A and B are shown apart, each in its own frame.
Chain A
Amino acid sequence: MAATKPYAKAILKQAEKSYSDRRTHWKHGGIVGVKGYGGGVIGRYSDLPETEARDVHTFRVVQPAGWFYRTETLRKLCDIWEKYGSGFTNFHGSTGDIILLGARTNDLQPCFDELSEAGFDLGGSGSDIRSLSCCTGPALCEWSCFDTLDLYQELNMEFQDEIHRPRYPYKFKFKISGCPNDCVAAIARSDLAIVGTWRDPLQIDQEMVGEYKNDGTDVNGVCRKCPTMAITWDEKKLEEKPRECVRCMHCLNSMPGAVMPGKERGATLLLGAKATILRSAFLGWVLVPFIKVEKPYTELKTLFRTILDWFDENAKPRERIGEAVYRVGMREFLEAVGLPPVPQMIYRPRANPYYFWKPEELEVAK
């Protein structure tokens, strides 16, 4: 890239200078963007007085579901990007979208126009709904409990406005995994994690279990490692104790195909994950233990909009929804969004006696 584009070479030269100075030479970006969009373009400027790479902005381009591409699409993207930008990309950024790293201010609009003509669109940045992510799902994975790719696409379309136009107190991320393996780390990284699950017994192919045993799999060992001792093996049959399984995927992972998710499939919804800033990293916690994930996803969309509205009304500037719920308490949040308290939401109840009563809950003792 450096060989063909002075702009790219200048970016790399700056990176080299960072290596000798042991510090970054980028400074805060101003507000840059393209017409009609508030998100999707990250402004960035060099702090070096003399450089060909003075303004080095970044596009976030929405990725196809599950990151499945045709070469024809990628080549089109490469041609446009090479024409207008540095030629540097990330496949992909951490949130999941395609990063086009390095465009000048004057090139942003024409580049975006051509990307748009070619069928690409920008993802989120700032206080909007960020680009969604989903796992491979039914395209390749036998464990996918719902169509992650289809849900991804549907939610993308549902939230187009909210992705392109920042309006929330802070960012909001949805991530979609087809099973509890959670290959997009939804529980670690998303305000609202949609993790595939099931609620009836495992489906066990005893013949296949026997084949794994003959091939050397220590089936007893697999059972011993079950976190709730929910499965037993008597050298002939693998059996599950009803309602003991917590769907940890261990036996499925150990014997692909022999043990499969149950037939009654859906998703667990978890709320609140985020990285350290501001006051600590959170993992998502269970909000809805089981919800069906079936087209047209009306129940899911309604619930998501209710939660987003609550976030919009109640979170402080730069406060994530997890932090907001921590601040006001689950009791208030659950009532506001109309979800029931269930024990699956917690490991254990409170140990302190500081709980509230509403006046209408009080009745005079007879």
Chain B
Amino acid sequence: MLPPIIQRNYGKWKSHKIIEAGVIEHIGESGERLYTVRAGTPKIISVHGVRDMCDLADKYCGGHLKFTSRTNIEFLVENEKNLAPLKAQLKELGLPVGGTGYSFKTIIQCPGWLHCHTAIIDSPGVAKALHDALYEHFFETDMPQKLKIAVAGCLNMCGAIHCSDIAVIGMHRRPPVVNDEIVTKSCEIPTLIASCPTAAIRPKGKSVEVNPDRCMYCGNCYTVCPGMQIHDPRYDGLSIWVGGKATNARTQPMFSRLAMPYLPNTPPRWPETIAATKNIVDCWLKGAESGERVGDWIERIGWEQFFAVTGIPFTDKHIDDFIFSIPTFRTTTQFKYTETPVVK
């Protein structure tokens, strides 16, 4: 059930205004005002944490609250006088009030090592480290545009990872080791063979074998069959992708594209990935015009300049060689010269 003030103004809101970081004032055609106080949450919350949030909602919001599509919590406050004490109590709880307007947004993350058999990295851990590194940007409202970052444990990418300003994705780098016993006992061979995007799996006796020249270690075979053992902490790592957006706002939706093919998997804080992400964010903050998402900025300056200003090496891995490669090739003499040496 919706709070009475929302029921009264349902479908009859006139406008809204961000009055400070994390606080949006909604103004009804009736003249009534409702404030939403947005606080970042860890998404993984114990029942104790949920009850703490309920206590605040009971005290300041008549027992009403909502969550957002980016796992934030929003308190629905009618009385303006409750804003300050609510914010103070949220601060005590360790929940930051912000993430509104042109700010760094709460990171979308999968459950990673807390739940998932295919997770190569611990997305919540990486997200936490990134949240900490970019913390002060959560309280801004005036960056060039929104900054939406997502972390995926593997290529299943559970979330809108493929359309994020910056995405961090766990990756394998070697083909799976086939455990014939498990494959023959537990797996449907046709399903397993069909699960491979590059037709790298073929029957071998009652089991299968993997063509190492075709396998690009996506891990989908492991998803459908536990006998395709692909986890390998010696070689598994992270990758960084940039320039995606899901919204139609001003410019069209875009995919995230490869920036860095491999960074080491170094829990608990993944310093290399954090530093690399910070570098990209800082370059965007310096170079973007007002209103430009990361992808808009890159499209304007050109991808060759993106690699130049960030200092990220451009490699053979950046050039697409899968099924939709041709439309990504530059079929024009219009390019900018850059100083960055090409690294093999």
Chain A 225-265 per-residue mask, 1 if CB under 8 angstroms from chain B, else 0? 10100000000000000000001111001001110000000
Q: Which residues of B contact A210 (CB under 8 A)?
A: none
Contact (Cβ within 8 A) B194 A317: yes
Contact (Cβ within 8 A) A87 B117: no
Complex Cα–Cα for A11 and B115 (A):
9
Complex Cα–Cα for A184 and B159 (A):
11
* In the complex, chain B residues 21-53 whose Cβ is within 8 Å of any chain A Cβ: 26-27, 34, 36, 41, 43-48, 50-51, 53
Chain A residue nearest to B16 (CB atoms) is A256
Contact (Cβ within 8 A) A91 B67: yes
A365 part of interface (Cβ distance < 8 Å): no
Contact (Cβ within 8 A) A225 B114: no
Q: Which residues of A contact B112 (CB under 8 A)?
A: 24
Contact (Cβ within 8 A) A87 B47: yes
A358 part of interface (Cβ distance < 8 Å): no
A103 part of interface (Cβ distance < 8 Å): no
Main secondary structure of the interface of A (DSSP, over half): loop
Contact (Cβ within 8 A) B194 A72: no
Contact (Cβ within 8 A) A249 B248: yes
* In the complex, chain A residues 149-173 whose Cβ is within 8 Å of any chain B Cβ: none
Contact (Cβ within 8 A) B48 A74: no
B291 part of interface (Cβ distance < 8 Å): yes
Complex Cα–Cα for A70 and B63 (A):
6
B119 part of interface (Cβ distance < 8 Å): yes
Q: How far is the CB of A68 from chain B (nearest CB, A)?
A: 5
Interface size of A in residues (CB-CB distance below 8 Å): 85
Cβ-neighbour of A140 out of B13, B48, B161 (below 8 A) = B13
Q: Which of B250-258, B279-287, B309-317 contacts A (4 or more CB under 8 A)?
A: B250-258
Contact (Cβ within 8 A) B246 A44: no
Contact (Cβ within 8 A) A44 B195: no
Q: How far is the CB of B161 from chain A (nearest CB, A)?
A: 7
Contact (Cβ within 8 A) B226 A28: yes
Contact (Cβ within 8 A) A91 B11: no
Contact (Cβ within 8 A) A24 B68: no
Q: Which residues of B contact A8 (CB under 8 A)?
A: 46
Cβ-neighbour of A19 out of B43, B108, B125, B194 (below 8 A) = B125
Contact (Cβ within 8 A) A89 B194: no
Complex Cα–Cα for A122 and B50 (A):
20
A67 part of interface (Cβ distance < 8 Å): yes
Known: A22-B265, A27-B117. A279 touches B323 (CB 8 A): yes
A334 part of interface (Cβ distance < 8 Å): no
Contact (Cβ within 8 A) A90 B249: no
Contact (Cβ within 8 A) B67 A67: yes
B2 part of interface (Cβ distance < 8 Å): yes
Known: A67-B68, A280-B323. A142 touches B249 (CB 8 A): no
Q: Which residues of A contact B63 (CB under 8 A)?
A: 70-72
Q: How far is the CB of A278 from chain B (nearest CB, A)?
A: 5
Complex Cα–Cα for A362 and B12 (A):
55
Chain A residue nearest to B156 (CB atoms) is A277
Known: A68-B64, A189-B160. A250 touches B250 (CB 8 A): yes
* In the complex, chain B residues 190-218 whose Cβ is within 8 Å of any chain A Cβ: 191, 194-195, 197, 218
Q: Which residues of A contact B131 (CB under 8 A)?
A: none
A335 part of interface (Cβ distance < 8 Å): no
Sorted from nearest, which 8 A-B pairs have the closest CB atoms?
A257-B15, A138-B11, A185-B246, A71-B54, A78-B47, A188-B246, A281-B162, A18-B113
Q: Chain B interface (Cβ within 8 Å of chain A)?
A: 1-2, 6, 10-17, 26-27, 34, 36, 41, 43-48, 50-51, 53-54, 57-58, 63-69, 71, 73, 108, 110-120, 122, 125, 153, 155-163, 191, 194-195, 197, 218, 220, 223-224, 226, 231, 233, 236, 246-251, 253, 255, 265, 267-268, 291, 322-324
Sampled A-B contacts (26; CB under 8 Å): A19-B113, A19-B267, A22-B236, A23-B236, A26-B115, A26-B116, A66-B66, A71-B64, A74-B54, A82-B47, A88-B44, A92-B43, A138-B11, A140-B26, A141-B16, A142-B16, A180-B247, A183-B247, A225-B291, A248-B248, A256-B16, A276-B162, A277-B156, A281-B162, A316-B194, A318-B224
